[in-house]
Amino acid sequence: MGNQLKTAALLAALSGLLIAISYWIIGGTGGLIIGIGLAAVTNLFSWYQSDKIALAVYRAQPVSEAEAPGLYRIVQRLAKRANIPMPGVYIVPSQTANAFATGRDPEHSAVAVTEGILNILPEDELEGVIAHELTHIINRDTLTQAVAATVAGAISFLAQMVSYSLWFGGVGSRDENRGANPLGVLLTVLLAPLAATIIQLAISRTREFSADAGSAKLTGNPRALARALQRLEATARQLPLNTNPAFEPLLIINPISGQFLGNLFSSHPSTEARVEQLLKLEQQFPARVY
């Protein structure tokens, strides 16, 4: 419940930032109304199109049971165990090892894995990864992350447009722009995209530990996911996934190599912290033979 409240507060902050920058730039009631409208439209758009957007960004291709029987069987087994509808199954044409889930609810969801992850993970570790992604679907994290990505993207786009206007004399150069707040304009260009990114990444980090715990519960084998995360991080350093940064939080592990950005700018908790939590959870399950 604590994570749910934190996520709701962060989403509210993100939408509030979009409303605020519209007010600062345009000024007055008109700016406030436009900001509220932008927030509503972007959230509504994310609600209905989140799965299509994410799958298109990563060029994921749908596969049938005949085309990927092993993967399909794991997803089918875990979905039945979790008592959710069978999600769509997709493969991303990349040798980078990663995975993600998307969709606004369990009835409209998809799980996607890269070709690379299928090549390097044994079945029990792949099962842990798939269970992690199904937990995101069950918890509606896929919708939350897609909404956050879309709103953050709208904020960055708006700031970019303001930046162009400043270069070409569009903001503050005409009488009709006298309602714009100069300080607000400057803060929007310099700080709004940064603030939006920080909030979006914080939302992502609050959801990863919950999804790891859900995977452990669904498979009864938290150590398998722990091994998978360690293996995926090692390969990410060697072969990072180049993609739109706004959608990085959807992935099971940070797709860029290195830790130089620190926790504030990371879309995921550290792998070490996640592994530590998983090994603690292992004590709650019957002993297994590894």
Query: Which letter does DSSP use for residue 86 in this model?
Result: P
10 falls within a domain: yes
More confident residue, 34 or 112: 112
Domain extent, residue 276, equals: 2-284
Measured CA to CA, the distance from residue 3 to residue 209 in angstroms comes to 10
Strands (E), 31-148: 61-62, 88-92, 99-105, 108-114
pLDDT band at 174 (very low <50, low <70, confident <90, very high): very low
pLDDT at res. 24: 60
Is the pLDDT reported for residue 125 higher than 50?
A: yes
pLDDT band at 173 (very low <50, low <70, confident <90, very high): very low
Ranges 133-147, 164-178, 241-255: which has the least confidence: 164-178
More confident residue, 247 or 27: 247
289 falls within a domain: no
Q: DSSP characters for 230-260? A: HHHHHHHHHS-----GGGGGGBSS-SSS-ST
3-state secondary structure at position 131: helix
Residues 172-198: what's their mean pLDDT?
59
pLDDT at res. 260: 43
Q: Which two tokens stand for residue 183?
A: 């300080």
29 falls within a domain: yes
Measured CA to CA, the distance from residue 23 to residue 20 in angstroms comes to 5
> Which of 191, 192, 172 lies closest to 182 in space, CA to CA?
172
Residues 131-150: what's their mean pLDDT?
82
271 falls within a domain: yes
Is the pLDDT reported for residue 4 higher than 60?
A: no
Number of domains making up the chain: 1
Look up 133 and say whether it is catalytic: yes
Residue range 77-115, pLDDT digits in tens: 999 999 999 999 999 999 999 999 988 789 989 999 999
Is the pLDDT reported for residue 62 higher than 70?
A: yes
pLDDT at res. 35: 59
Q: Of 65, 67, 107, 133, which one is the catalytic site residue?
A: 133
3-state secondary structure at position 275: helix
46 falls within a domain: yes
278 falls within a domain: yes
Report percent pLDDT > 90 for the chain: 37
290 falls within a domain: no
Measured CA to CA, the distance from residue 109 to residue 88 in angstroms comes to 6
Q: Which residue has the tokens 């072969």?
A: 239
pLDDT at res. 141: 83
Residue range 229-263, pLDDT digits in tens: 999 998 877 776 666 666 777 789 876 644 444 55
pTM for the whole thing? 0.73
Is the pLDDT reported for residue 271 higher than 70?
A: yes
Is the pLDDT reported for residue 289 higher than 50?
A: no
pLDDT at res. 261: 47
pLDDT at res. 176: 45
> Which of 82, 247, 18, 236 lies closest to 149 in space, CA to CA?
247
Report percent pLDDT > 70 for the chain: 55
Q: Which two tokens stand for residue 195?
A: 């603030």
pLDDT band at 275 (very low <50, low <70, confident <90, very high): very high
Ranges 41-55, 161-175, 186-200, 206-220: which has the least confidence: 161-175
Instruction: Give 212: exposed, middle or buried? Use CB within 10 Å, 0-12, 13-18, 19+.
Output: buried
197 falls within a domain: yes
Is the pLDDT reported for residue 200 higher than 70?
A: no
Is the pLDDT reported for residue 272 higher than 70?
A: yes
